[in-house]
Amino acid sequence: MEEQQQNALRKTSTSPFQSKPIRCIVKLGGAAITCKHELETINEKNLDTVSKQLRQVILSCPDSGKVLGMDWSKRPGTSETPSTIDGCCDEFKVDFEKFVVVHGAGSFGHFQASKSGVHKGGLCKSLVKAGFVATRISVTSLNHEIVRALAKEGIPSIGMSPFSCGWLTCERNMEAANVSMIVKALDSGFVPVLHGDAVLDTSQDCTILSGDVIIRYLAEELKPEFVVFLTDVLGVHDRPPTEPGAVLLREIAVDEDGSWSVVKPNVQDASKQVVVTVAAHDTTGGMVTKISEAAMIAKLGIDVYIVKAATEHSRIALSGDLKHNVPDSWLGTIVRPLRQQQ
C-alpha cells in the first residue's frame, strides 16, 4: 500500500501540462519586497514596481492600457468603493504566460521563527509550537498582501501555502510535495504564489522550508524555461557588496556534478573566494542557500538570473531575452549549465 501511495505521488507531481509549458518561476526575495530592518513592513514601492513588471511579461497585451483589477475588497480605513466589473467584456479574455511566483519572508516570519527555534524542531515545546503558529500568521499575511498587489495589476494570482498543501520535509530536506494543484492552477490560467513557510518535518517535528528550496523543487518538477531571483542587490558578489572592492560575478557556469566556476569576470579561484554573510535572524541560509539552489537548478539545464528587483535589469531578466542576448549594460548574475558555454 505504501509503495502504491509513493507511485501515485510521483505520478501526480510530474503531471504534464495540458497546454503550453511554464515560462518562468520567479523568486521575490524577502529583502527586496520588505524593509528587512523594520518588523513586518512591506517595501511598497518595490512591490508595486515588481507587480507592474510581472504584468508586462505575464499578460499578452501589456500595452493595451486596460487592466481588469482583481482585488475587489475594501481596504481597512478607506472609503473607496471596491472595483467592479461594470463594462468589462471579452476584451479582457487574454492569454497569459505561465509564471509561478515564490516569495521569501524578509521582515515577516524570520523574527518569530528564530526567537522560538521553529527551524530546529521540537513541537513538544510550548515555545516552539507557539512560534510555529506565529510564523505562519506572519508569512501568510505577507503572502496575502503580495497576491493582492499582483491582483491589482490584473494578474490572476492565487496564494498557495506549502503547509496547507501538505508539503513535508525530513531533516529539513523536501520529502513529500504534491504539485498537482499547482499544475491545475496553471492550466486554469492562474498564477500560483507560494512562500517560505513553517512546515511539519518527519524527523524533527517541524522546520522552516525556505523559498529558495521551494524554487529548486518546482524547477525540477515543472521544468520552466528560466528562473529569476529578484534580490535587494545587483547579483552575486565575491564578497558582501557593501565591502570596498566587491566584484559582481556576471556569469557562473555549473558542471553536471553541481560544481561551479565563474566565467565573467575572470576571477582566479572565485568559487573558493566568494564570501557571503547571513543575517542573525535569517533561519533559511540567506545568500548561501541562494547560490546553492541556483547551481542545482542550472544543473537541470535551466538558466537562472539573479538580479536587483524593481530595476530595468529585472525587467529584462523577467522578459527572458537574456537567453540568447546579454547586453553589456545588463547588471546581474547569470547561472547556467557549463555545456551551454561550450
- Model pLDDT, residue 25: 98
Q: Annotated binding residues for ATP, as ranges?
A: 106, 232, 286, 290
Asked if 100 contacts 222 with a C-beta cutoff of 8 angstroms, the reply is yes
Closest CA to 203 of 176, 164, 245, 172: 172
Q: Using an 8 Å Cβ cutoff, are 294 and 335 in contact?
A: yes
Q: Is the dihedral of CA 239, 242, 246, 250 positive or negative?
A: positive
Which residues define the annotated binding site for substrate? Answer: 105, 110, 211
C-alpha 300/C-alpha 186 separation (Å) is: 21
Q: What is the pLDDT of residue 220?
A: 95
Region of 169 please: left (phi>0), alpha (psi -120 to 50) or beta: beta
Rg of the Cα trace of the chain?
20
pLDDT of the residue at 279: 47
Q: What is the pLDDT of residue 14?
A: 46
Kindly list the distances between the CA atom of residue 148 and the CA atoms of 75, 108, 161, 263, 297, in Å, as whole numbers in the listed order.
11, 16, 15, 40, 29
Successive 10-residue mean pLDDT values, the chain, 342 residues = 48 52 96 94 97 92 67 78 54 75 95 94 97 98 97 95 96 90 95 97 96 93 96 88 88 88 74 47 51 89 96 97 93 87 52
Annotated binding site: 105-106, 110, 211, 232, 286, 290
Q: What is the pLDDT of residue 340?
A: 58
State whether the Cα torsion 335-336-337-342 is positive or negative. negative
pLDDT at 239: 80
In this prediction, residue 133 carries a pLDDT of 98
Give residue 9's pLDDT.
47
Position 231 scores a pLDDT of 94
The three cell numbers locating residue 264: 565573467
In the chain the domains, ranked by start, together with CATH numbers, are: 20-63+93-224 (3.40.1160.10), 233-303+327-342 (no CATH)
Output the nine-digit C-alpha cell for 147. Answer: 497576491
Between vectors from CA 157 to CA 301 and to CA 29, what angle results, nearest 5°? 55
For position 266, what pLDDT does the model report?
77
Per-residue confidence (pLDDT) for residue 101, from 0 to 100: 98
Q: What pLDDT was estimated at residue 267?
A: 65
Q: Are strands 168-170 and 173-176 parallel, antiparallel or unpaired?
A: antiparallel
Report the candidate in 162, 335, 312, 333 with the shortest Cα–Cα distance to residue 246.
Answer: 333
